[in-house]
Structure 1
């Protein structure tokens, strides 16, 4: 039994690693596409938009599939369909073909994202054990490997070899992980909640919380380097540490986030994380030099790390709702924050300083702080003071089953 639980946990973690590997491999590939297709940065921006649009269109499909047939079958289909998409991008002969391939790449990996998060939720519900934060830690690790390995392989062996290598690694991880994932059995047709947009406002509120949590992360990723260079006089080499500091602390803290959530409860963890993230953004926005801003972004990463995993767990455990539906709403709304952040902040940066923008983003995180009480369904111990009584008994049934 212990070995089976360990294998199931390792399997879902491996899925996050594989997904992050593919997404991370996209980062160095964009520069190669610009050169191969001889397109401008503006046109390249439209290609990137296709990736986001693919996610927004296809993710709800896999959310519904997860609710109807279970996350295990959904993640198998999404992963296998996503496997050749990096090769498709590489082999596509023109801009239109690349755009369509990027749309599928973003959409199918987004669909896998929905299903693997649901599988992690299924594990948490069945075992009453938090794993969501560490799963997202493995996603971050996969992103670092994909980005770092991708740059080296692209430079040494070229675009085709890079796509083949990443695809083989992705398929190898899937082959090891998919047979061992948590088997979640959907309810019978009589008991199964209907798969439709719910009338209950709670999943949409949780989606808005996720959006508020992800916008600051996207702002640091896309504009942190520009802020350090333009307003704080940093060199390019030093400015590159803006997001690196945030990403590094996020990855580290995510690997201990489950233990902290298990010990202190989802609500308490959400409050502390939001406060730390707000403090980090205030430090970064009010810094007088690049080192202070980098330290602020690193502190912000500590807080941001566990905000989204907690919201996802809460969405996946909403009582009386198929967890694929709740996850789909929250994930799509949350990822729209990543899509909205670059353009919106670029527009604002033409009219005000980045310093003021980052201070304002600290204010945006007051939303998850003030609504942290809605995260009770992410608490996994029935005896926790912030756990819902109803969810506690439901978890007991899942555990006994």
Structure 2
């Protein structure tokens, strides 16, 4: 059965049609697999954070300070991303940054002390910043060249990678497999996928210049009011993702007393709902509206965290993290696309600037939560993110997206 016939038979179901458009397009799927590979590594790593914390005998504040090395790497790299992508092109940047990330992620899991762990996380931050901008730009190039919508599905692939990563990590923890061996296998798998994808990625048109003549390498501008509001909303959404990534397992294991296997499912519950909603996002956003969803999503995400705090038991906490996944699911796809359409700001510069601040929230949020947890308790750390999500819902009423 050919692709055209499959798509014709799915015309009655807009959700299936959009998903098939993504899955049956080689370029779109290849970019999506880059998103998934990136998150697979992160999902695998975060499940072992409680193990690293215990092995190195770190307090909450010590862990928070060490984790802060990753956003520092991001801050250092982000101003350079536009220049690097302009020199190498999006596909080659995705390729080399993915390879570098697989090597860097193996350092913190094997670190003998916090200095080596921080150095490894700094390198992870450098690589993450570069692949983040490159793969989002590549997704935009596919959308423009083929007149399709795939951004939400690509971010869905990122969530799927995290879901698989945390699920596999939970299994290997239950089987008492060494965290070092597990991460080595995951890194090797991503390396293999990266090499297999490169021939397809190289066929994606490069945005050497936009319609306005702006060079794709232009990056980072002083945000105007519209972009500033997007950044503030994006920071809240990114902190919601970050708290699920780095602190869900710790909260379930140390605060609520769950087993290691159950604790590893915290990020899995978050990723499951986030993945589901992102794969239908390209279909539902035109019906609901991007601004309306940002408002609803902020309220749902905050409700999930408040549930995990108010009813501090492993089952209710898992439901809370699942609701957080729903609330945060479409924030990134909406805002990444909107940042390239801000009036008066070149598209590539808008994307790079938003990506910088958004990823800072994603990576810097967990260390900040660590400092709050050390002083007041992890309940208050989660509560801080809930308040930010509520504020983002309010800001979403006034932001101008397109």
Common fold by TM > 0.5: yes
Structure 2 unmatched runs, 5+: 5-20
CA distance in 1, matches of 2:130, 2:318: 34
Which of 77, 86, 110 pairs up with 2:129? 110
- Could you say if the C-alpha distance between residues 134 and 207 of structure 1 is closer, same or farther in structure 2, counting changes exceeding 3 Å? same
2:163 aligned with 1:134: no
CA distance in 2, matches of 1:85, 1:225: 22
Question: 1:117 Cα shift?
Answer: 0.9
Aligned twin of 1:178 = 201
Aligned twin of 1:371 = 395
SS at match of 2:155: helix
Instruction: Check conservation: 2:163, 2:271, Cα contact below 8 A.
Output: no
Describe how 1:1-400 pairs up with structure 2 within 5 A.
6-27=25-46, 39-41=56-58, 48-66=67-85, 71-72=90-91, 74-79=93-98, 81-82=100-101, 84-86=103-105, 100-149=119-168, 152=172, 155=178, 158=181, 162=185, 165-166=188-189, 168-187=191-210, 191-192=214-215, 195-198=219-222, 200-228=224-252, 234=258, 237-287=261-311, 289-352=313-376, 354-355=378-379, 357-373=381-397, 377=401, 388=402
Aligned twin of 1:399 = none
Instruction: Check conservation: 1:72, 1:184, Cα contact below 8 A.
Output: no
- Could you say if the C-alpha distance between residues 60 and 105 of structure 1 is closer, same or farther in structure 2, counting changes exceeding 3 Å? same
Instruction: Check conservation: 1:281, 1:359, Cα contact below 8 A.
Output: yes
- Could you say if the C-alpha distance between residues 165 and 233 of structure 1 is closer, same or farther in structure 2, counting changes exceeding 3 Å? closer
CA distance in 1, matches of 2:145, 2:397: 23
Could you give the per-residue CA deviations for residues 336-394 of structure 1, whole angstroms, max 9, x where no partner exists? 223333333233335545545544433311332223256654xxxxxxxxxx4xxxxxx
Question: 1:206 Cα shift?
Answer: 1.8
CA distance in 1, matches of 2:312, 2:101: 45
Instruction: Check conservation: 1:67, 1:186, Cα contact below 8 A.
Output: no
Aligned twin of 2:9 = none
Aligned residues: 376
Structure 1 unmatched runs, 5+: 378-387, 389-401
- Could you say if the C-alpha distance between residues 9 and 81 of structure 1 is closer, same or farther in structure 2, counting changes exceeding 3 Å? same
Could you give the per-residue CA deviations for residues 157-198 of structure 1, whole angstroms, max 9, x where no partner exists? 947963762353243343254224354341489654864523
CA distance in 1, matches of 2:192, 2:399: 36
- Could you say if the C-alpha distance between residues 57 and 177 of structure 1 is closer, same or farther in structure 2, counting changes exceeding 3 Å? farther
- Could you say if the C-alpha distance between residues 209 and 240 of structure 1 is closer, same or farther in structure 2, counting changes exceeding 3 Å? same
RMSD in angstroms over aligned alpha carbons? Answer: 4.1
Question: 1:329 Cα shift?
Answer: 2.0
Question: 1:111 Cα shift?
Answer: 0.3
TM-score by length of 2: 0.75
CA distance in 2, matches of 1:158, 1:84: 14
Aligned twin of 1:385 = none
